[in-house]
Structure 1
Amino acid sequence: MNELNFNRHRRLRGSANLRSMVRETSLHKEDFIYPLFVVEGENIKEEISSMPGVYHYSLDRLGEELDEVVSLGIPSVIFFGVPNEKDAVGSQAYHDHGITQEAIRFAKDRHPDLVVIADTCLCQYTDHGHCGVIENGVILNDESLDLLARTAVSQAKAGADIIAPSNMMDGFVAAIRFGLDQAGFENVPIMSYGVKYASAYYGPFREAAHSTPQFGDRKTYQMDPANRLEALREAASDIEEGADFMIVKPALSYLDIIREVRDNYDLPIVAYNVSGEYAMVKAAAINGWVDEKRMVLETLLSMKRAGADIVMTYHAKDAARWLEEK
Structure 2
Amino acid sequence: MTAERPSITDRIDAATGGMRLRRLRQADWSRRLVRETQLSPADLIWPIFVREGSDAPQPVESMPGVSRLSVEHCVEAAKRARDLAIPVIALFPYTNPSLRDETGSEALNPDNLVCRATRAIKAAVPEVGIMCDVALDPYTSHGHDGVMVGECIVNDESVELLCRQAVVQAEAGCDIIGPSDMMDGRVGCIRGALDDAGCRDTMIMAYSAKYASAFYGPFRDAVGSGGMLKGDKRTYQMDYANSDEAVREAAQDLAEGADMIMVKPGLPYLDVLARLAREFAVPTFAYQTSGEYSMIMAAVGNGWLDGDKAMVETLTAYKRAGASGILTYFSPKVAAMMRG
Q: TM-score range by the shorter chain?
A: over 0.9
Tell me how far apart the structure 2 counterparts of residues 11 and 60 of structure 1 sit (CA, whole Å).
52
Larger Rg: 2
Q: Confirm whether residue 255 of structure 1 aligns to residue 255 of structure 2.
A: no
- 1:67 positional shift: 2.2
- Find 1:142's aligned residue among 156, 161, 165: 156
Q: Which moved more, 1:131-140 or 1:295-304?
A: 131-140
SS of alignment partner, residue 194 of structure 1? strand
**Any gaps of 5 or more consecutive residues in structure 1?**
none
Is the Cα–Cα contact under 8 Å of residues 95 and 223 in structure 2 kept in the other structure? no
**The one of 272, 289, 292 aligned to 2:304:** 289
Q: Distance in 2 between matches of 1:123 and 1:117?
A: 17
2:212 to 184, 198, 201: 198
Tell me the secondary structure at the aligned position of residue 40 of structure 1.
coil
Matched residues, percent identical? 44
Count of residue pairs the alignment pairs up = 325
1:321 aligns with 2:336: yes
Q: What is the identity, as a one-letter code, of the residue corresponding to 1:301?
A: T
Q: Secondary structure at the match of 1:125?
A: coil
Q: Specify the alignment match of 1:41 in structure 2.
A: 53
1:298 pairs with 313, 316, 319, which one? 313
CA distance in 1, matches of 2:264, 2:205: 12
User: Which residue matches 1:73?
Assistant: 85
- Pick aligned residue for 1:24 from 36, 40, 48: 36
Greater alpha carbon shift after TM alignment, 145-154 vs 40-49: 40-49
Offset, 1:44: 4.4
Q: Could you tell me how far 1:68 is from its partner in structure 2?
A: 2.0
The structure 1 segments of at least 4 consecutive aligned residues displaced by more than 6 Å after TM superposition are none
The question of whether the paired residues in 1 share the 8 Å contact of 2:134 and 2:181 is answered with yes
Segments of 5+ residues of structure 2 without an aligned counterpart are 1-6
Deviation digits for residues 36-86 of structure 1 (CA, Å, limit 9, x no counterpart): 111122324100000011111121332322222222221110000122210
**Given the alignment of the two structures, is residue 168 of structure 1 paired with residue 155 of structure 2, yes or no?**
no
Q: What are the superposed Cα offsets for residues 232-257 of structure 1, whole Å, 9 maximum, x if unpaired?
A: 01111101101001010000111111
TM-score, normalised to structure 1's length?
A: 0.97
Decide whether the 8 Å contact of 1:33 with 1:77 is kept in 2: yes
- Alignment map for 1:1-326 (pairs within 5 Å): 1=7, 2=10, 4-6=14-16, 7-84=19-96, 85-212=99-226, 213-325=228-340
SS of residue in 2 equivalent to 1:190: strand
Query: C-alpha separation between the residues in 2 aligned to 1:279 and 1:156?
Result: 31
Residues 83 and 98 of structure 1 are in contact (CA less than 8 Å); yes or no, is this contact kept in structure 2?
no
Determine if contact 1:43/1:60 at 8 Å carries over to the other structure.
Answer: no
Using structure 2 for the length normalisation, give the TM-score.
0.93
- What is the one-letter code of the residue matched to 1:35? P
